[in-house]
Amino acid sequence: LDSDSAQPINIQANQAEFNPETGIATYTGDVKLNQGSLKVKAHTVTIYQDNNGEISKVVAIGKGERVHMQQKPEPDSPEVHAFAMYAEYLSVEQEVLLKDNAELENGKDRFTGDRIRYNLQTRNISAWGDKNSGSQSQSSVPGQVKIILYPKNNQSSAQ
């Protein structure tokens, strides 16, 4: 939701590490992060802050299981689910960058590739394949992007 970024961020984890000099905090082990409708599950989450103490970047990394992010863009819109081994949230740009076995589900529409960039404000989605990446993405041909879009008017009849 638009109000998400103004909400407090709550994090739960097995361990954590923090350095007051750098302001970097790393949470490890069954990490769950909530901010309004935004929810993230990962093995490791690292929070970076700028000099004013504002969160500038959040990096989530999966181990075994992919990172899972979900958010409700608008009250009446379906939730967006994102999966990847590496997910980076940039606060100023309000963007999420997914890397390594990336997948994004926006309602029934589905995107897979090696890298996906999703803008939380404009809802723009960009996806790349990476021929040399060793990662096994969901698309059938390595290095390619796969997109499944459901026509909006047939969306209800297609169920």
Partner 1 sequence: MLFGRRLKKRFIGILGLAVLGLVVHFLDSQRPRSSNLFDGVDERPSEPDYFAVNSQYRSYNRDGQLEHSIRADRLLHFPDSRQTRLEQPELSTYGVEGQALWNARSDKGVVEGDGNHFQLNQNVIVWKGTSRQPEDKTLTPVRLTTDLLNIDLEKEQAYTDKAVLLEAEQGDMQGKGLQANLKNSQIYLLEDVRGLYVQ
Task: Provide the binding-site residues for partner 1, judged by CB under 8 A.
Answer: 5-6, 8-21, 23, 25, 27, 47, 49, 53-55
CB of 56 to partner 1, least distance (A): 11
- Running DSSP on this structure, what letter comes out for residue 130? -
Query: Whose Cβ is closer to partner 1: residue 11's or residue 125's?
Result: 11
CB of 5 to partner 1, least distance (A): 7
Separation in Å, CA 74 to CA 38, 77, 86, 120, 148: 12, 5, 25, 11, 22
CB of 41 to partner 1, least distance (A): 15
CB of 1 to partner 1, least distance (A): 15
Query: Whose Cβ is closer to partner 1: residue 55's or residue 90's?
Result: 55
User: Residues 4, 86, 102, 116: what is their CA dihedral angle, to the nearest 10 degrees?
Assistant: 60
DSSP string across 96-124: EEEEEEEEEEETTEEEEEEEEEEETTT--
CB of 122 to partner 1, least distance (A): 21
CA 90 from chain centre, in angstroms, equals 10
Dihedrals φ, ψ of 2, to 5°? -60, -30
CB 13 within 8 A of CB 28: yes
Query: Whose Cβ is closer to partner 1: residue 17's or residue 65's?
Result: 17
Query: Whose Cβ is closer to partner 1: residue 25's or residue 116's?
Result: 25
Query: Whose Cβ is closer to partner 1: residue 34's or residue 126's?
Result: 34
